[in-house]
C-alpha cells in the first residue's frame, strides 16, 4: 500500500473520528447547552479569523504547495524556506492588526444591535488569527514533508476533545460563556504547539535564511504566486464562511447557529477529499516538476472514484435518516432540512471531481484559479443576495450549492481541455445506479424507535452499496482495502 493511500486512509479515519466527536459537541450537546446566538458567535469568530488568515498569509501557502520541491534538501534546513515563510506570515499578521485596529470600532457598532455577542467577544480575533495563521503555515510545511496526517489528527481530533471538555465545564456551571470562549481560543493554540514540537524533534525547524538560494526566477515566481494566492487561497473557505457572514447580515447570529448545525452534516461528505488533497499536494508538485502526466492522471481518476463512492454513501445515509436527524435536535432546527440536502449535493459534486483543484493549483495554470475565484465570488454573492432574503437559511444553502457546482464544472473543464485529464467515466454512472438501489431500500423500511431505526437503516444502505461496489469492482482502491480486511479477518478466525 503506497504512502498516498496509507495517509489518505489514516487521515480519513481521524477525520471521521473527529466528525463523531463533532457530532457529540455540535449536534447532541451544543443545541441543548448553548443558545443559538452563543453557537453563532463562536462560528462567526472562527469564520472571521479563517477569512482574515487567507488574506494575511499573503498567499504564501500557494508558494509552499508549488515551490517547496525547489527548496527541499536532505539536511532539514531546506535553504531557509521556513524562515522565509515565517517572515512573510508575520508581516501579513501585522498588516491585519493595523486593519483590525482601524475597522474594529465600525465592526462593533454595525453588530451591536443585531449580533451583540460578536461585538462583545471580537477582541479575541487577533489572537485567534495569529494561531490560525501559524498553524496553517506549519501544517502545510509538515504536509510537503510527506506528513499530512498529524495536522488532521490535531485539528479534527485533539481540538474537538478539548472543546468537549470545555462544553462539559460550561454545562456543569464551572465556567461561564466568557470562560468558554477564552478556553476555545486557547484550545485552538494547542495543536500549534504540538505540531511545532513534532517538527523540532524531527530536525525540520531551521530559522536561518539562505538569501543566496533565491534566484531572480524564484523571487519572481514567489511574488506572482503570493499575489495570486491572496485571492485563490480564499476559494477553499469561501463557501464555509461567507454564507455565515451573509446570514448574519440578513438574519442575525441565531440563524447562523441553526445553519451551522445543519451544514455540519453535509460537511461529512467533504472529509475524504480533504485528506487525499492534503497528501497529494507534494506528490503532484513533484510530478509536475518531472512532467509525469501518467502519475497525475492515475491519481486524478482514482481520487474521483473513491471520493464519489464515499460521498454518495454518506449523502444516501443522510437522506434516509433525515427524519431521525431532526428527532435528535430541538424543534428550532426543524426548518433546516433543506440546508443538509442542498449543501450535501454541492459537496458531492465537488468531491466527484477528486483532486482537480490540487492539480490546477500545482500546475503552470495556477493563475486560472484566480479567475475561477472571481466567478465563484460573483455567483455566490449574487445568488446569496437574491436567495437569502427570499428563503432564509435555505437560500444560503442554495447559493452555496449553485456556486460549488459552477466552480467545480469550470475547473474540471479547464483541466480537461488544457491537459487532457478527465476524472469521469462509466464507473460513476454504475456507482450512481448502485446508490439509487441503496436509497430506495433505505426508504422502504418502516420507521422504528430512534436508535434502532438509525442503526438498521444505515446498516442496510451500507451493506447494499458496499456489496454493489465490491462485486461490480467499481473501485480498485476500495476493493484492495476490502480484500486486505477480509484476509485479516480470515486469518484471525
Return per-residue pLDDT of the chain as tens, 493 residues.
466 667 777 777 888 888 888 888 877 888 888 887 788 778 778 877 877 787 788 888 878 888 888 788 766 678 788 888 899 889 989 988 888 788 767 666 656 555 666 667 778 888 889 999 999 999 988 888 888 889 889 988 999 999 999 999 999 999 998 899 999 999 999 999 999 999 999 888 888 888 877 888 888 888 888 887 777 666 555 655 677 778 888 887 778 878 888 887 888 888 777 778 878 888 888 888 888 999 999 999 999 999 999 999 999 999 999 999 888 887 888 888 899 999 999 999 999 999 998 899 888 888 888 788 888 888 988 999 999 999 999 999 999 999 999 999 999 999 999 999 999 999 999 999 999 999 999 999 998 998 899 999 999 999 999 999 988 988 887 777 777 777 777 677 6
pLDDT at 399: 93
pLDDT at 341: 93
pLDDT at 242: 77
Question: 131: left (phi > 0), else alpha (psi -120 to 50), else beta?
Answer: alpha
For 472, counting Cβ atoms within 10 Å of its Cβ (0-12 exposed, 13-18 middle, 19+ buried), the class is middle
Q: Would the pTM of this model clear 0.85, i.e. be above it? A: no
pLDDT at 237: 58
Quote the CA–CA distance of 176 and 138 in Å, as a whole number: 32
Nearest of 328, 309, 345, 357 to residue 467 by alpha carbon: 309
Can you point out the beta strands (E) in 184-267? none
pLDDT at 138: 92
- Residue 394 · residue 250 · CB < 8 Å: no
Length of the chain: 493
pLDDT at 1: 47
Quote the CA–CA distance of 373 and 143 in Å, as a whole number: 24
Amino acid at each position: 500500500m503506497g504512502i498516498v493511500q496509507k495517509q489518505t486512509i489514516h487521515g480519513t479515519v481521524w477525520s471521521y473520528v473527529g466528525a463523531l466527536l463533532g457530532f457529540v459537541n455540535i449536534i447532541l450537546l451544543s443545541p441543548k447547552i448553548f443558545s443559538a446566538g452563543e453557537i453563532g458567535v463562536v462560528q462567526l469568530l472562527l469564520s472571521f479569523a479563517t477569512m482574515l488568515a487567507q488574506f494575511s498569509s499573503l498567499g504564501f501557502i500557494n508558494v509552499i504547495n508549488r515551490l517547496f520541491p525547489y527548496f527541499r534538501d536532505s539536511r532539514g534546513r531546506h535553504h531557509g524556506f521556513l524562515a522565509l515563510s515565517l517572515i512573510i506570515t508575520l508581516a501579513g499578521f501585522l498588516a491585519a492588526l493595523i486593519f483590525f485596529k482601524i475597522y474594529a470600532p465600525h465592526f462593533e457598532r454595525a453588530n451591536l444591535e443585531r449580533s451583540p455577542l460578536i461585538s462583545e467577544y471580537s477582541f479575541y480575533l487577533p489572537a485567534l488569527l495569529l494561531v490560525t495563521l501559524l498553524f496553517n503555515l506549519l501544517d502545510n510545511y509538515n504536509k510537503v514533508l510527506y506528513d499530512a496526517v498529524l495536522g488532521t489528527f490535531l485539528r479534527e481530533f485533539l481540538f474537538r476533545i478539548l472543546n468537549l471538555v470545555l462544553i462539559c465545564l460550561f454545562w456543569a456551571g464551572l465556567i461561564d460563556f466568557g470562560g468558554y470562549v477564552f478556553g476555545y481560543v486557547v484550545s485552538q493554540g494547542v495543536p500549534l504547539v504540538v505540531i511545532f514540537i513534532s517538527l523540532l524533534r524531527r530536525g525540520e525547524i531551521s530559522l536561518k535564511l539562505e538569501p543566496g538560494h533565491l534566484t531572480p526566477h524564484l523571487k519572481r515566481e514567489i511574488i506572482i504566486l503570493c499575489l495570486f494566492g491572496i485571492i485563490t487561497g480564499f476559494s477553499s473557505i469561501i463557501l464555509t464562511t461567507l454564507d455565515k457572514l451573509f446570514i448574519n447580515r440578513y438574519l442575525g447570529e441565531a440563524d447562523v447557529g441553526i445553519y451551522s448545525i445543519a451544514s455540519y452534516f453535509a460537511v461529512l461528505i467533504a472529509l475524504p477529499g480533504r485528506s487525499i488533497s492534503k497528501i497529494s499536494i507534494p506528490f503532484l508538485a513533484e510530478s509536475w516538476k518531472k512532467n509525469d502526466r501518467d502519475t497525475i492522471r492515475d491519481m486524478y481518476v482514482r481520487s474521483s472514484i473513491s471520493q464519489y463512492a464515499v460521498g454518495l454513501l454518506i449523502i444516501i445515509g443522510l437522506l434516509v435518516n433525515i427524519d431521525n436527524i431532526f428527532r435528535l435536535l430541538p424543534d428550532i432546527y426543524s426548518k433546516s432540512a433543506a440546508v443538509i440536502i442542498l449543501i450535501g449535493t454541492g459537496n458531492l459534486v465537488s468531491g466527484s471531481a477528486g483532486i482537480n483543484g490540487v492539480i490546477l493549483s500545482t500546475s503552470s495554470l495556477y493563475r486560472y484559479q484566480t479567475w475561477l475565484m472571481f466567478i465563484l465570488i460573483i455567483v455566490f454573492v449574487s445568488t446569496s443576495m437574491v436567495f437569502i432574503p427570499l428563503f432564509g437559511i435555505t437560500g444560503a444553502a442554495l447559493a452555496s450549492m449553485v456556486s460549488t457546482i459552477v466552480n467545480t464544472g469550470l475547473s474540471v473543464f479547464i483541466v480537461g481541455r488544457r491537459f487532457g485529464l478527465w476524472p469521469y467515466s462509466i464507473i460513476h454512472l454504475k456507482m450512481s445506479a448502485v446508490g439509487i438501489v441503496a436509497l430506495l431500500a433505505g426508504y422502504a423500511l418502516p420507521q422504528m424507535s430512534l436508535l434502532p431505526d438509525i442503526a438498521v437503516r444505515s446498516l442496510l444502505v451500507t451493506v447494499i452499496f458496499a456489496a454493489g461496489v465490491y462485486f461490480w469492482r467499481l473501485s480498485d482502491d476500495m476493493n484492495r482495502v476490502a480484500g486486505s480486511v477480509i484476509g485479516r479477518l480470515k486469518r484471525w478466525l
